[in-house]
Amino acid sequence: MCEAACPWQAAFLRFETTMADELEIAGKSFRSRLILGTGKYRSPEAMNAAFAAAGTEMITVALRRLNLESKEPSLLDQIDWQRYAILPNTAGARTAEEAVHTARLARAMGLSDWIKLEVIPDPRYLLPDPIGTLEAAKILVREGFVVLPYINDDPVLAKQLEEIGTATVMPWPRRSVRAREWSTSPRSGSSSNRRGCPWWSTPAWARPQTPHWRWNSAATPAWSIPPSPSPRTPP
């Protein structure tokens, strides 16, 4: 194949080669690093076509979006459970207590002991609550859940979550590369990969949008305040 004539195919093959090794989470192996959600598709057919085209092996489902009282087929009935691993998430939970309740509900429904943990107090900015996430993770790990927490790009929090026994950490991007560099540097004293806890960055196109606040691109994290008639305190 001519790389000059088909640059996108060549790029895909290089990516496929680098992803040839399997990713292991809690004793389960995956060839794909891509997790897809189930929201905002035009139809179940479009959703399943996206799953197949992406080659994903894990599908995340927000329990709060399911109508559990309806007798009509639900979103869960549209997914091939034999083909995809189902990863319930706690999207919509604003406190640690709500997140733990949602995880227990997923287990009671027979969905999975795996849970993508999200504690997001403000639906406008979608920034995870680090304290609430850590509190919920401690409870869920004690109860035997395989916890995949969604967090800020905070290497200190990531190490704390790893130490209490979460299966992964899933930081949102922007500074997540620096976080990975920090975790494997000699000064950190340890590596996040040492005990098999993957650092899994949320795709850039899925990161929260912050219309009134933006990250400064300097090496030191700082908030850059655009002109606003009513400035807000950064979260």
pLDDT of residue 6: 55
Q: Which residues are CB-neighbours of 192 under 8 A, at least 6 positions away?
A: 158, 159, 162, 169, 180, 183, 184, 198, 199
- Which uninterrupted H or E stretch holds 62? strand 58-62
Mean pLDDT of 224-230: 42
Query: Is 173 a residue whose pLDDT tops 60?
Result: yes
Residue spans of the domains in the chain: they are 26-151
Query: Could you tell me which CATH number the domain at 26-151 has?
Result: 3.20.20.70
pLDDT of residue 124: 84
> Which percentage of the chain shows pLDDT scores above 70?
64
Query: Is 74 a residue whose pLDDT tops 70?
Result: yes
pLDDT of residue 72: 76
pTM, 2 dp: 0.68
Query: Is 218 a residue whose pLDDT tops 70?
Result: no
pLDDT of residue 158: 94
* Cα–Cα nearest to 109, from 126, 129, 88: 88
Measured in degrees and rounded to the nearest 5, phi and psi for residue 158 equal -60, -40
Least confident of 53-62, 71-80, 210-219: 210-219
Amino acid at 227: P
**Please, which pLDDT band fits residue 198 given cuts at 50, 70 and 90?**
low
Q: Which residues are CB-neighbours of 226 under 8 A, at least 6 positions away?
A: 212, 213, 214
Please identify every residue annotated as catalytic: 116
What is the chain's length? Answer: 235
